């Protein structure tokens, strides 16, 4: 019986590792292909010779890209929106979740219902746009503050805060701690995994934000990377089609180069916080 169980376990793990490896390769392929296409020669790419590894390697496209001031300005804008936007969102979400986790909060059930209600129903795209437009959300700081919070993330943090034993809160209160001290010195240190997980949600959303930024930020100097990518690709496509010069790279290679540069920070940071991701999500989802 033991041998049979061991054989079954070995077979299961073998299949699991094989499937995981296959899925990992599938997920990794677009990134590898994008980099290969960005450094491949123009003729090799246009004739479909690039499948996985680059052909006729050259880095001319990156020289063009790194000398583009618009690209660097948009990169700085994205870092600005991601850094300050994530910090602002975490401050609001954590404070709101802490208050909603307290059973002594007056109208606690109604406040929770109002927040959950926004997850079920929305005003619609046009009313939301008009609301942002009338509020003057057309600059850097306006864009940071206007998109400060998401209901799902408040619920996630609230659910985790509710798992912290009430005795910890009571002991701190008896020792003379006020609500701010309890929040910053007890709840925040005990909620590292969930806080990092929610911060990752916010940061990813800010980094990849395109739709509302494209609609609201009219000044090109305020455009984040995703919006600038689209505009650069459109401009460069027209330039390449009308230019009498023979350029050493394809238009799509330029697009892939921008894509590669845009995901580098995510690839660098994510492995360091990935260990908190699953744990934080599970801890935050214990209670509803």
Q: What is the pLDDT of residues 183-241, one digit of tens each?
A: 888 888 888 888 888 898 898 889 888 888 888 888 888 888 888 877 777 776 665 55
CATH at residue 207: 1.10.3720.10
pLDDT of 127 above 70: yes
Same domain, 91 and 18: no
User: In this predicted structure, what is the pLDDT of residue 240?
Assistant: 55
Same domain, 173 and 93: yes
Average pLDDT over residues 130-157: 88
Question: Which are the contacts of 278, defined by CB distance < 8 A and separation ≥ 6?
Answer: none
Same domain, 102 and 212: yes
Q: Which of 11, 41, 58 is the last residue of a domain?
A: 58
Domain that holds residue 47: 1-58
Q: Which of 140-149, 156-165, 278-287 has the lowest mean pLDDT?
A: 278-287
**How many domains are contained in the chain?**
2
User: In this predicted structure, what is the pLDDT of residue 92?
Assistant: 92
Same domain, 190 and 118: yes
pTM for the structure as a whole: 0.80
- DSSP assignment of the chain: -HHHHHHHHHHHHHHHHHHHHHHHHHHHHHHHHHHHHHHS-HHHHHTT--SSS-SS---HHHHHHHT-HHHHHHHHHHHHHHHHHHHHHHHHHHHHHHHHT-TTSTTHHHHHHHHHHHHH----HHHHHHHHHHTT--SHHHHHHHT---HHHHHHHHHHHTTS-HHHHHHHHHTT--HHHHIIIIIHHHTHHHHHHHHHHHHHHHHT--HHHHHH--SGGG--HHHHHHHHHHHHHHHHHH--S--SS-HHHHHHHHHHHHHHHHHHHHHHHHHHHHHHHHHHTS--
pLDDT of 117 above 80: yes
Question: 237 or 121, which is more confident?
Answer: 121
Same domain, 106 and 141: yes
**Residue 2: which pLDDT band, with cuts at 50, 70 and 90?**
very low
pLDDT of 90 above 90: yes
CB atoms within 10 A of CB 102: 15
Question: 68 or 236, which is more confident?
Answer: 68
Same domain, 201 and 233: yes
Left, alpha or beta for 176 (phi > 0: left; psi -120 to 50: alpha)? left
Same domain, 137 and 203: yes
Q: Which of 58, 75, 104 is the last residue of a domain?
A: 58
Q: What percent of the chain lies above the pLDDT cut of 90?
A: 9
Same domain, 124 and 267: yes
- Report the candidate in 215, 246, 213, 220 with the shortest Cα–Cα distance to residue 235: 220
Q: Rounded to 5 degrees, what angle do the CA atoms 280, 148, 207 make? A: 70
User: In this predicted structure, what is the pLDDT of residue 5?
Assistant: 53
Q: Which of 11, 26, 58 is the last residue of a domain?
A: 58
Angstrom distance (rounded) from CA 55 to CA 33: 11
Angstrom distance (rounded) from CA 220 to CA 218: 6
As a whole number, the mean pLDDT across the chain is 82
Same domain, 48 and 174: no
């Amino acid at each position: 019986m033991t041998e049979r169980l061991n054989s079954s376990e070995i077979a299961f793990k073998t299949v699991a590792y094989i499937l995981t490896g296959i899925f990992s390769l599938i997920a990794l392929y677009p990134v590898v292909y994008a980099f290969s296409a960005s450094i491949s020669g123009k003729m090799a790419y246009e004739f479909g010779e690039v499948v996985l590894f680059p052909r006729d390697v050259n880095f001319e496209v990156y020289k063009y890209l790194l000398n583009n001031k618009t690209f660097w300005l948009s990169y700085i804008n994205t870092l600005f929106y991601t850094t300050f936007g994530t910090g602002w969102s975490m401050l609001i979400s954590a404070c709101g979740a802490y208050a909603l986790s307290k059973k002594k909060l007056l109208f606690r059930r109604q406040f929770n219902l109002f927040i959950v209600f926004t997850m079920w129903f929305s005003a619609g795209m046009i009313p939301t746009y008009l609301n942002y437009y009338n509020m003057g959300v057309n600059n850097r700081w306006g864009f940071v503050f206007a998109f400060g919070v998401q209901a799902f993330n408040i619920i996630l943090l609230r659910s985790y805060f509710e798992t912290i034993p009430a005795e910890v809160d009571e002991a701190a209160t008896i020792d003379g701690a006020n609500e701010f001290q309890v929040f910053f010195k007890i709840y925040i240190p005990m909620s590292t995994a969930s806080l990092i997980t929610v911060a990752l949600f916010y940061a990813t959303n800010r980094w990849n934000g395109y739709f509302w930024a494209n609609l609201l930020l009219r000044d090109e100097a305020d455009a984040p990377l995703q919006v600038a990518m689209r505009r650069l690709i459109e401009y460069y496509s027209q330039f390449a089609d009308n230019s009498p010069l023979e350029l050493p790279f394809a238009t799509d290679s330029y697009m892939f180069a921008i894509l590669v540069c845009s995901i580098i920070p995510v690839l660098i940071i994510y492995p360091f916080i990935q260990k908190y991701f699953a744990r934080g999500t599970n801890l935050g989802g214990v209670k509803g």
